[in-house]
């Protein structure tokens, strides 16, 4: 693969307090993505390349919550500690934050759904997206699928994702689906080489 270059961006999906250890909807091993993502953040900073970060930013009555008949406990409610990025992720001040899932009546797993992400990426002339975060089998999967549909070259950061695994093989199946959609699996050692 070509080394990092202008037109590349790091996209961190939903690494928020509620999705890591002791969070309201903790992804098993979710906190393990943080050290890996920090290494990617350092590499992208070294090359002067942009960082985008999506976040669930739900109203308290979001349709995905149990009380509204949804599949999940309340999580990532806007302006609460659970919706914040973990301090040890250390996102740069220049990171462009994209809020999603803000409409109480609509589920939104993809970072592109009802957000300005695509417009912001086009404005920045981004061609290649390097995507990691949480969770493999939901928001990462749908963000990668939409990125491919929109024509981005996508690299899936396999050392910086973790699945929910509602069913035991959901994470593996999601990775296979992303590769089938055209995402290229990648780990830091190969990118930094």
DSSP the chain: -PPS-TTEEEEEE---GGGSTTSTTPPTTGGGHHHHHHHHHHHHHHTT--EEEEEE-B-TT-TTBGGGT-SB-S--BTTSGGGSPPGGG---TT-EEEEE--STT----STTTTSSHHHHHHHTT--EEEEEEE-IIIIIHHHHHHHHHTT-EEEEEEEEEE---SSTTHHHHHHHHHHHTT-EEE-HHHHH-
Annotation says 2 is catalytic: no
Classify strands 153-162 and 51-56 as parallel, antiparallel or unpaired: unpaired
Annotation says 139 is catalytic: yes
> Among 56, 76, 139, 159, which one carries the catalytic annotation?
139
Annotation says 100 is catalytic: yes
> Among 18, 100, 137, 146, which one carries the catalytic annotation?
100
> Among 8, 14, 56, 137, which one carries the catalytic annotation?
14
- Please identify every residue annotated as catalytic: 14, 100, 139
């Amino acid at each position: 693969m070509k080394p990092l270059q202008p037109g590349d961006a790091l996209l961190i999906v939903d690494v928020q307090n509620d999705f890591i250890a002791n969070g309201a909807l903790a992804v098993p091993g979710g906190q393990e993505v943080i050290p890996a993502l920090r290494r990617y953040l350092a590499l992208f900073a070294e090359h002067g390349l942009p960082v985008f970060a999506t976040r669930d930013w739900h109203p308290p009555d979001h349709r995905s919550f149990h009380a509204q008949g949804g599949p999940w406990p309340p999580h990532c409610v806007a302006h609460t500690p659970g919706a914040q990025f973990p301090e040890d992720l250390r996102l740069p001040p220049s990171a462009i934050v994209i809020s999603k899932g803000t409409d109480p009546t609509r589920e939104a797993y993809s970072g592109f759904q009802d957000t300005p992400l695509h417009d912001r990426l086009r404005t920045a002339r981004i061609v290649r997206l390097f995507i990691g975060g949480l969770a493999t089998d939901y928001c990462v999967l749908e963000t990668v699928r939409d990125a491919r549909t929109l024509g981005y070259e996508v690299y899936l950061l396999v050392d910086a994702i973790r699945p929910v695994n509602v069913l035991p093989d959901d994470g593996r199946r999601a990775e296979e689906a992303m590769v089938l959609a055209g995402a290229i699996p990648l780990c830091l050692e190969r990118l930094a080489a």
